[in-house]
Amino acid sequence: MSTRVFEKWYREDRLPHIFCTGCGNGTVMNCAIKAVDTMQWEIDDTIFISGIGCSSRAPGYITTDSLHTTHGRALTFATGVKMANPDLNVVVFTGDGDLSAIGGNHFIHACRRNIDMTVICMNNMIYGMTGGQGSPCTPVGKISTTTPYGATEPTFDLAGLAVAAGANHVARWTSYHTKELTKAIETGLSTEGLSFIEAMVQCPTAYGRRNKLRTVTDMVEWMRTHSILLQKARRMEAEGKSIPEDFFTVGEFIHRQRPAMGVKR
Amino acid sequence: MKLKIDEQRCKGCNLCTTVCPYNIFQEGRKLNERGIIVPILDRPQRCTNCRLRHLYGRQLCGACQMICPDQAIYWVEEDPYSEESVVIEF
Ligand SMILES: Cc1ncc(C[n+]2csc(CCOP(=O)(O)OP(=O)(O)O)c2C)c(N)n1
Ligand code: SF4
Ligand code: SF4
Ligand code: SF4
Ligand SMILES: [Mg+2]
């Protein structure tokens, strides 16, 4: 007997996947699959849906049925699937560009409708697949091929956006926090309505290389040291202190029971 | 149980070397046939999962397996007479 990672869920004949050395997407897949496995969902009752991007390649490595759709439209296809057959368990993999740039409109409306699915966004703060253009999540001052002197625009706070638009469960973790991320996804899977999990991931190829985080471990170390627990950030805010630049919050942003659509009958 | 790295999958990112509480994974030095420097295992019999999986009847620790983006880390059943026997350290 050997104990591979979730042999049941990975299409072993398709591995190794195409992600670059040390790309965080692979880690987020492990966490998502572990959470799905813990839920004891059946392969035939589960469907993974994605748009276009490196992150969106993920469903292709999973044994369940999957839809690899057009750029930005993962949530529209997922909405269709869920409304046509609410008995299916729907999980969406998407990227920061896919979800918040071209697909931004669908994102807010899926949250507003609160459709019963779990959306996992692998936020690498860049357009990875097309070679490193800036996305709505590229932090101010960071270099991409379209921001050669450093990005100047304010970024989207994806988790905050999902809370404001009405999602029932919202959390943010990183690919370093595998345990917490898995738990957050699991809570998302068991929550009725739209659950949004933002997973900050390293993209050593398109982001790290240009931003003085050359090695994979440098980028993961950066995420480890620059993430602040939400509770701590709120405490700091109450004390009138500001969160240092470059830092981001991690934790559970909201967990509520707004009325949802497409819930299993 | 015995800890293994699948050389056909590992891409040599070294993330495993950063998470193991026992520092079992050490940066490798030699290229393998795929042109990848796979980490080397330093006394893998110290791994929590190797030692205690059968006692508890479930996966233990597993931090390396979860963070490995290439699904390359796994365990195999140990031949009871192999030289690397299970050593329990206190
Ligand atoms: C309609 C359309 N516009 C543009 C593209 C080109 N394109 C492919 S992937 C991508 C960005 C992907 O970025 P993101 O969603 O962050 O995924 P990542 O690769 O970073 O994981 C773009 C712009 C496309 N495929 N289709
Ligand atoms: S370009 Fe970035 S996001 Fe795409 S596979 Fe490579 S490391 Fe991952
Ligand atoms: S984390 Fe996985 S892919 Fe990376 S070096 Fe370790 S075994 Fe290889
Ligand atoms: S399971 Fe834990 S103790 Fe064992 S090798 Fe992996 S990280 Fe180390
Ligand atoms: Mg991206």
Distance from the Cα of A227 to chain B's closest Cα (Å) equals: 17
What DSSP element (H or E) covers A228?
Answer: strand A227-229
Check CB contact under 8 Å for B71 and A26: yes
Whether A40 shows a pLDDT value over 80: the answer reads yes
Question: Into how many domains does chain A fold?
Answer: 1
Mean pLDDT of chain A: 96
pLDDT in tens, A41-100: 999 999 999 999 999 999 999 999 999 999 999 999 999 999 999 999 999 999 999 999
Side by side, the strands of the sheet bearing A2-3 are A2-3, B73-76, B2-5
Q: What torsion do the CA atoms of A38, A3, B64, B84 make, to the nearest 10 degrees?
A: 150
0.85 surpassed by complex ipTM: yes
Phi-psi region of A98 (alpha: psi -120 to 50; beta: other; left: phi over 0): alpha
Please indicate, yes or no, if residue A161 is contained in any of the structural domains.
Answer: yes
The CATH code for residues B2-76 is 3.30.70.20
Distance from the Cα of B19 to chain A's closest Cα (Å) equals: 9
Q: Is the CB of A132 under 6 A from ligand 2?
A: no
Q: Is the CB of A29 under 6 A from ligand 2?
A: no
* pTM, full prediction: 0.95
Side by side, the strands of the sheet bearing A227-229 are A65-68, A46-50, A89-95, A118-123, A195-200, A169-174, A248-255, A227-229
Please indicate, yes or no, if residue A55 is contained in any of the structural domains.
Answer: yes
pLDDT in tens, A93-130: 999 999 999 999 999 999 999 999 999 999 999 999 99
Please indicate, yes or no, if residue A9 is contained in any of the structural domains.
Answer: no
Provide the residue ranges of all domains of chain B, joining segments of one domain with +: 2-76
Mean pLDDT of chain B: 90
Domain that holds residue A104: 21-202
CB-nearest to B66 from A31, A217, A221 is: A31
- Chain A positions touching B76 (Cβ under 8 A) are 1-3
Please indicate, yes or no, if residue A109 is contained in any of the structural domains.
Answer: yes
Residue A138 CB neighbour total at 10 angstroms = 26
Residue with tokens 């999962």: B49
- Chain A positions touching B8 (Cβ under 8 A) are 16
CATH for A97: 3.40.50.970
pLDDT in tens, A214-240: 999 999 999 999 999 999 999 999 999
pLDDT for res A232: 96
CB-nearest to A178 from B18, B67, B75 is: B67
Please indicate, yes or no, if residue A84 is contained in any of the structural domains.
Answer: yes
Q: pLDDT grade, residue A7 (50/70/90)?
A: confident
Q: Most A CBs within 10 Å: which of B67, B73, B78, as the mutation test of the A interface?
A: B67
